[in-house]
Structure 1
Amino acid sequence: MRNIFVDGYNVINSWPNLKKTKNYSFEAARQQLVEILVNYAAFKGYRVFIVFDAQLVLGSLEKDEKASNNVNVIFTKEGETADAYIERTVNNIGRKNEVFVVTSDKLEQQLVFQRGAVRMPSMEFYNEVKSIKNSISVKITEKYSDKKHTLEDRINKNILDKLEKIRRNN
């Protein structure tokens, strides 16, 4: 299974829709990113780790919250950047598993590449996620547009004939 580590604030500051949201609420932008990536991970079958810096939050401890079966949201501990967390984690698993790191930070991209991960710029990931979102919409439209909405469309022809016969005899 592909593991994708996302530098949360880097992505929020890169994606146009999240950039607008963060201007009035960082919490709303974080939540929007999580919701987008929960759908993406479920559709693709990937494990996604969204890492947010808490390095400047006094007394913060590392938190790992499960947003869904495939998505974990990590807040780093005080004094630790998202980059440092991702580097440490990728260093431990990078060569054993398929790992992608999403960030536009060039130095971070170099470091994780040396540890066996594939690097992906935030905007490239944005385009991939947007494409998957469109695929999900198409699948939903296909599934529900063929749905039968009338009773006649849902009932077997033989049963429908019998019901019609009963109706006419009354």
Structure 2
Amino acid sequence: MQKILVDGYNLLHRAKDLREVLIENIEAARQLLIDKLISYKARRQVAITIVFDGRQVGMPLQQQVHGLTVVYSQPPQDADTVLRALICREKNRRKTLVVSSDKSVAEFAKTMNAETMLAEEFYRRFLQSAPHITVQDKYDYSLSPEELDEWLKIFNSSK
């Protein structure tokens, strides 16, 4: 299985529509990117880890969100340092794609035999026009009062 390591804020700043959200609300932009990656992951057999600089107070350093691993660096480390450590820990680096437009991160990944892709290219090719389906949208089974009444009539009439 391919592993994708994403430089979170680097990607947010490189994608125009995400950058516009980022200017208004950092949490909304982060969540939008996470949702897009979850949707991408649902369509492909890949493992994805996204790394953001600095965690917010009360947030864990790492969490799983619908199969996506979200990691926050802890000062004095930054996301680049965490990405380098994750690259080093990968057993099969040839099947690891590092998504970042940061030259130092990309060069390090290449020296470790990992694949690299510019953040803007990854976004354009895989996320920008992809359907935005969150897990909640995909499995929303809520019924209107009318639908509920109809189903109750159907099940009660069979007794």
Q: Same fold (TM over 0.5)?
A: yes
C-alpha spacing 1:62/1:76, structure 2 compared with 1 (3 Å): farther
Given that 2:40 and 2:127 are in contact with CA atoms closer than 8 Å, whether structure 1 keeps it comes out as no
- Uncovered stretches (5+) of structure 1, i.e. residues with no partner: 137-170
CA distance in 1, matches of 2:14, 2:128: 17
Q: Which one of the candidate residues 121, 124, 143 is aligned to 1:124?
A: 121
C-alpha spacing 1:111/1:43, structure 2 compared with 1 (3 Å): same
Report the equivalent of 2:150. Answer: none
Report the equivalent of 2:14. Answer: 14
Q: Within the alignment, does 1:87 sit opposite 2:90 as a pair?
A: no
TM (norm. structure 1) is 0.70
Given that 2:5 and 2:97 are in contact with CA atoms closer than 8 Å, whether structure 1 keeps it comes out as yes
1:1-170 matches, cutoff 5 A: 1-54=1-54, 63-69=61-67, 71-93=68-90, 95=92, 98-130=95-127, 133=130
TM (norm. structure 2) is 0.75
Report the equivalent of 1:151. Answer: none
CA distance in 1, matches of 2:60, 2:73: 5
Query: Which has the greater radius of gyration?
Result: 1
Given that 2:10 and 2:119 are in contact with CA atoms closer than 8 Å, whether structure 1 keeps it comes out as yes
C-alpha spacing 1:32/1:131, structure 2 compared with 1 (3 Å): closer
- Uncovered stretches (5+) of structure 2, i.e. residues with no partner: 134-159
Say how many residue pairs are matched.
Answer: 132
Pairwise CA RMSD = 2.3
Which structure exhibits the higher relative contact order, with contacts defined as CA atoms closer than 8 Å and separated by 6 or more residues?
2
The percentage of aligned residue pairs carrying the same residue is 27
CA distance in 2, matches of 1:62, 1:112: 26
CA distance in 1, matches of 2:48, 2:90: 14
